[in-house]
Amino acid sequence: KTKNGGNLRCPIVCVLGHVDHGKTTLLDKIRKTRVAKREAGGITQHIGASEIPIDVIKRVCGDLLNMLKADLKIPGLLVIDTPGHEAFTSLRKRGGALADIAILVVDINEGFKPQTIEAVNILRQCKTPFVVAANKIDLIPGWNSKEMPFILNFNEKNQHPNALTEFEIRLYENVIKPLNELGFEADLYSRVQDVTKTVCIVPVSAVTGEGIPDLLMMVAGLAQKFLEDRLKLNVEGYAKGTILEVKEERGLGTTIDAIIYDGIAKRGDYLVVGLPDGVLVTRVKALLKPKPLDEMRDPRDKFKPVNEVTAAAGVKIAAPDLDKVIAGCPIRIVPKDKIEEAKEEVMREVEEAKIEVDDEGILIKADTLGSLEALANELRKAGVKIKKAEVGDVTKKDVIEVASYKQSNPLYGAIVAFNVKILPEAQKEIEKYGIKVFVDNIIYKLVEDFTEWVKKEEE
């Protein structure tokens, strides 16, 4: 038995929805963090992760928990934040596939948008149950929004009749109706009789905090219910995970931040990493856990060393030889006799995620496999040919390679790089060969800048 209460697996909750409908802000409100405010371009461009412990859920929900018919036995929730920008379909798919349950965030005033529909289709495909957070209710004309359960604020005493009418119209037109059109029964959560047949809609405001108790109560209750049904409550076997980020840490060298979505990771076991050009096997020197309620990507506090980590969880891993490892790669943490099995698994996963390239074209670089995939897809949509796609900084070798692409077509003498650095050694070569390099930390800006350049060059 593990310390998180008898081998109960912590459910993974994926937050999905259209760009700017409020996913990150909603999590910020729950965590009391300010992640959304610090994001480049105001958009999320990576998968994030944070743990919400059960005592926080119980405290926030208070008496609302009586609405659930069962006691909460889960140790908490591992919440995965995803980008809503259209470029990041692959990250949404990965998030949706990892999740036990999802929160679909919809701006109740804007209604369903392309990535809302895409998210529903991903969830349908993965058979992932979901609740809808109908966000931004504070913007409903006349709505008196307060930091309290929605269910206690939704009445004629607290709201003007016109505001209640506006709410009902938006709820129906912008959330229920589009869900019906996609083949889902849906209703305000308090009106739902059977949660296995009808999608529950929880009105919330990420700004005022209204409805967050209702949302956490529904998500925790549903996660527990669906996990029990799927008999996925017990954790056993070796750890399976995905790398979120590769980071230098003082005193630890190169470390990886990962999500463990299944099994148990033990210090001293072997870390098996699937890479685009092979498999790395190394030994786990340290496992470090982020503080509860911290976003792993942007933590407020130091990580704490532990001997073992039980899924689902975020974890920092220190081990030798991690400098060639890249974000987005699959990992396993296994005892010695399982190394071969783990190698085969990660190799299969890497093969499935490979980016197709053209016979000729430009070179693209990005900071993670997920963003590289997103960048490649966006450039393809714009008709751009890609000869090579790699994770990592722009090196001298890259520039020399692109100089050879340029000989066949001047428009191929370009590097498009997302969220990485141009190494100093590469700078001289860029000038020498007249290579055009586009670097930005906002993915759609890169695509715009590059296609604009091509247009100008063609004139």
For ligand GTP, the binding residue among 9, 21, 297, 343 (CB under 6 A) is 21
Q: How far is the CB of 46 from ligand GTP (least distance, A)?
A: 10
Q: Please, what is the minimum distance in Å from the beta carbon of residue 315 to ligand GTP?
A: 23
For Na ion, the closer CB: 20 or 373? 20
Residues 298-357 that bind ligand GTP (CB under 6 A): none
CA 418 to chain centre: 18
Q: Which residues pair with 199 in a beta bridge?
A: 186
Question: Checking DSSP bridges between strand 313-318 and strand 253-262, what pairing results, if any?
Answer: antiparallel
Q: Smaller CB distance to Mg ion: residue 24 or 242? A: 24
Residue 20 makes contact with Na ion by CB under 5 A? yes
Stretch that binds Mg ion, among 1-9, 17-25, 58-66, 333-341 (CB under 5 A): 17-25
* Residues 459, 451: Cα–Cα separation, whole Å: 13
Give the whole-angstrom CA distance, residue 75 versus residue 240: 19
In the complex with ligand GTP, which residue's Cβ is closer, 44 or 371?
44
What's the Cα-to-Cα distance from 358 to each of 351, 372, 399, 405, 453, rounded to whole Å?
Answer: 17, 15, 18, 12, 20
Number of residues assigned to the chain: 459
Binding mask 166-205 for ligand GTP (x = CB under 6 A): ---------------------------------------x
DSSP H or E run through 76:
strand 76-81
Based on the number of CB atoms within 10 Å of its own CB, is 454 exposed (0-12), middle (13-18) or buried (19 or more)? middle
Residue 17 contact among Na ion, ligand GTP, Mg ion, none, beta carbon within 5 to 8 Å by kind: ligand GTP
Q: Which helix (H) or strand (E) holds 239?
A: strand 239-249
Contact 310, 4 (CB under 8 A): yes
Q: Where are the alpha helices (DSSP H) in 354-415?
A: 369-381, 396-408
The footprint of Mg ion on residues 42-61 (CB under 5 A) is 44
Shorter beta-carbon distance to ligand GTP: residue 52 or 206: 206
CB 261 → Na ion: shortest distance, Å? Answer: 25
Which of 68, 182, 207, 357: binder of ligand GTP (CB under 6 A)? Answer: 207
Report d(CA 82, CA 449) in Å as an integer: 25
CA distance 102 to 343: 30
Q: Which of 92, 10, 87 is nearest to 47 (CA)?
A: 92
Distance CA 252, CA 96 (A): 32
Query: Which residue in this structure is represented by tokens 């003082």?
Result: 250
Angle at Cα 350 formed by Cα 348 and Cα 353, nearest 5°? 115
Task: Give me the residue label for tokens 């496999």.
Answer: 369
Q: Per-residue x/- mask for ligand GTP, residues 128 to 157, rule CB under 6 A?
A: -------xx-xx------------------
3-class secondary-structure state, position 454: helix
- Report whether 336 contacts 361 (CB < 8 A): no
Query: To the nearest whole angstrom, how small is the minimum distance from the Cβ of residue 102 to Na ion?
Result: 18
Which of 41-49, 138-146, 180-188, 386-394 is the region at the interface with Na ion (rule: CB under 5 A)?
41-49
Closest CB to Mg ion among 204 and 435?
204
Query: Which partner, Mg ion, ligand GTP, Na ion, none, binds residue 135 by CB below 5 to 8 Å per kind?
Result: ligand GTP
Q: Which of 30, 74, 104, 206 binds ligand GTP (CB under 6 A)?
A: 206
When binding is defined by CB under 5 A, the residue of 16, 18, 24, 90 that contacts Mg ion is 24
Q: Please report whether residue 23 would count as binding ligand GTP according to CB under 6 A.
A: yes
Give the H/E segment covering residue 290: none
Query: CB-based burial of residue 139 (10 Å sphere; 0-12 exposed, 13-18 middle, 19+ buried)?
Result: middle
Pairing of strands 362-366, 313-318: unpaired
> Considering only residues 8, 9, 14, 24, which one is a binding residue for ligand GTP as defined by CB under 6 A?
24
Residue from 16, 35, 43, 179 in contact with Na ion (CB under 5 A): 43
Site string for ligand GTP, 63-102 (x = CB under 6 A): --------------------xxx-----------------
Name which of Mg ion, Na ion, ligand GTP, none residue 242 binds, using a CB cut-off of 5 to 8 Å depending on partner kind. Answer: none
CB of 370 to ligand GTP, least distance (A): 14
Q: Give the residue with the Cβ less far from ligand GTP, 21 or 332.
A: 21
Is 36 a binder of ligand GTP (CB under 6 A)? yes
Give me the least distance between CB of 251 and ligand GTP, in Å please: 33
Vertex 270 angle, CA 265 and 275, to 5°: 100
- Which residues are near Mg ion by CB under 5 A? 23-24, 44
- Which residues are near Na ion by CB under 5 A? 20, 42-43
- Which residues are near ligand GTP by CB under 6 A? 17, 19-25, 36, 42-44, 83-85, 105, 135-136, 138-139, 205-207
